Chain A
Amino acid sequence: GAGVSQSPSNKVTEKGKDVELRCDPISGHTALYWYRQSLGQGLEFLIYFQGNSAPDKSGLPSDRFSAERTGGSVSTLTIQRTQQEDSAVYLCASSRPGTGFYNEQFFGPGTRLTVL
């Protein structure tokens, strides 16, 4: 079956421009996460959507970052006025809800963002 997809796979932008990154989760997965991973670093949690609940935005690094999830499915991560330190791979993951062992996270291939 289809996995998590992300687009674009690569994005090069100029400092100060806005970018939008898209994530299509696995059908039926109500939980959706965005992470950021800089070169050689671990995963940095950004934001978490669970069903119709208010998202957990505790990981967003600044107010330039925002995300929305329409219809409980597709999600868009928007970075305004990009800075060079925003350069990273942005990973999206989806899972079933809950805290049990069945809610394995499935990751998309990521979007590699480069800010010049």
Chain B
Amino acid sequence: RKEVEQDPGPFNVPEGATVAFNCTYSNSASQSFFWYRQDCRKEPKLLMSVYSSGNEDGRFTAQLNRASQYISLLIRDSKLSDSATYLCVVNTDKLIFGTGTRLQVFP
């Protein structure tokens, strides 16, 4: 089993839609969690950290369920500029990246 698993997608959604990505991790000792965004042919960049109580940053909401070892990212009111690959990242003794979920927002 991979340490971090994500649905690869692609998710094709119209502008204005709400879309959710899920991620599961295998190591219960994992201590911190992140979502990164990677645009085509670019390097990954931090989108947001994922706190135990859940956190929101504008149209983006991240949730963590430690009992189920599950992380989610919700994007509301999707924009064309949200089109990218979203990488789930789990930190145990080092950062481990999921393979990413590709999102394509269309007009």
Q: Tell me if B20 is interfacial: C-beta within 8 Å of chain A.
A: no
Q: Which range contains the number of B residues in contact with the other chain?
A: 20 to 34
**Roughly how many angstroms separate A33 CA and B49 CA in the complex, as a whole number?**
19
**Roughly how many angstroms separate A115 CA and B31 CA in the complex, as a whole number?**
38
**Roughly how many angstroms separate A95 CA and B44 CA in the complex, as a whole number?**
14
Contact pick for A101, options B32, B36, B45, B98, CB 8 Å: B32
Do A42 and B92 touch (CB < 8 A)?
A: no
- Contacting residues of chain B (61-100) with chain A, CB-CB under 8 angstroms: 87, 89, 91-100
In the complex, identify which listed stretch (A11-19, A20-28, A63-71, A103-111) lies at the interface while the others stay far away: A103-111
Do A56 and B100 touch (CB < 8 A)?
A: no
Q: Using a Cβ–Cβ cut-off of 8 Å, how many residues does chain A contribute to the interface with B? A: 21
Q: A33-B94, A100-B31 are in contact. Are A108 and B99 (CB under 8 A)?
A: no
Do A42 and B43 touch (CB < 8 A)?
A: no
Q: Tell me if B46 is interfacial: C-beta within 8 Å of chain A.
A: yes
